[in-house]
Amino acid sequence: MASLIVVLLFGFLAGSQAAQSIEPRERNPDIDLTTPELIAKYGYPVESHMVTTEDGYILTLQRIPYGRNSTSRTNRPPVLIQHGLLSQSSDWVVMGPEKALGYILADAGYDVWLGNARGNTWSRKHTTLKPSSAKFWEFTWHEMGVYDLPAVIDYILEKTGEEKLFYVGHSEGTTMSYVMASERPEYNDKLRALISLAPVAHLSHTKTPFLKVIASAGDQIGWLTKMMGMNEFLPHSYLYNLMGYALCKDKAITQEICSNFIFLICGFDSKELDASMIPVIMGHDPAGVSTRTLLHYAQVIKSGKFRQYNHGLLKNLILYGSVVPPQYDLKKITAPVALMYGQNDFLADPEDVATLKEELPNVISYYKVKDDQFNHVDFMWATHAKTLLYDEVVSVMNKH
């Protein structure tokens, strides 16, 4: 966590100074484009949709209804792609046509919907609460699974007239789906298949330093963040655009620092990350998340259990009727599940994925990416993600 703060401070200073000398022609224009603007730029149709959850959060979806070389909306099964921690919908289009999963699925004949979880750049509205309110941020991936995904899935099925859809989740997007399918098991019948990229339920073997630091600090971190009013973690701002360009552009002496910082969190791999794309990525991510979401993951690490949020003894008794939170019953996940993992993933460690596989009753695919250096962010941004991973995703979907 300390190293993160140092990098951000350094980036602020360097970015602020460099911003004055940046020539417009030097900047990749994709840095400043929104998700719909990116999709339109590369010749794909795009729609934006708003969905209100049962507890009042207003979420934004982006839709690619068909591919670049087609205008037909018929016979196109819907697929919802859900981002991971600190991310947003642009993750699935930022690498461009023939490389990004959103475009690949649209070109493969699917009706693509890109989700945005509550609290990120695109989903910062509520029917009664404002992001400046601490109460707005009183959620974790539990609420995302119990409220966000059901609302989004029902909306997509209503709009498309379909009875089922495909779900592709990455990282936190997989966690949300396990919460939904176990806590609201009726939604299993609305899933053609649940495809998990870098699945995160168990975290006993995670190597991600900043989550392990939070876990070791325990309740003190939660108390401190609450006292300091730190309800939101890493919301996106123009500062990251400046940082990404000033520190991470080609020929910058600090470009290797950018790469190594990403690797420190997600697993080392210099081969699959195109360093010249880091400024574009940082033009969109990080996209913000509630501090409580990070604390929930830290609790999973500390307890060794995939269970609901620990509010403390008294509140646990009131909410759960027990001093400890209940575990999620993964046996209730009856939808077909494909688990796809990387050997070099610091967050979704292969041993934890193996544990998850044994707990799920209907695993249809257990796929290890055929590159032993494939890490957590490679699932989104790897140069050869199509041949290493996305072709397998399409293959699994075509069979179901």
The residues that are catalytic are 171, 376
Beta strands in the chain (DSSP E): 47-52, 57-64, 78-82, 111-114, 125-126, 165-170, 191-197, 232-233, 289-290, 337-341, 363-368
Whole-number Å distance between alpha carbons of 348 and 205: 8
Chain centroid, CA 171 distance in Å: 6
Torsion of CA 367, 373, 378, 381, to 10 degrees: -130
Residue 69's CB is within 10 A of a number of other CB atoms, namely 9
355 burial (CB, 10 Å; 0-12 / 13-18 / 19+) is middle
Q: Using an 8 Å Cβ cutoff, are 261 and 166 in contact?
A: no
CB neighbour list of residue 57: distance below 8 Å, 6 or more residues apart: 118, 123, 125, 126, 147, 148
3-state secondary structure 33-56: CCHHHHHHHCCCCCEEEEEECCCC
Question: Letter for the amino acid at 390?
Answer: Y
Q: Which of 154, 123, 141 is nearest to 182 (CA)?
A: 141
Q: Using an 8 Å Cβ cutoff, are 152 and 190 in contact?
A: no
- Over its C-alpha atoms, the chain yields an Rg (Å, rounded) of 20
Q: What angle do CA 52, 53, 59 make, to 5 degrees?
A: 55
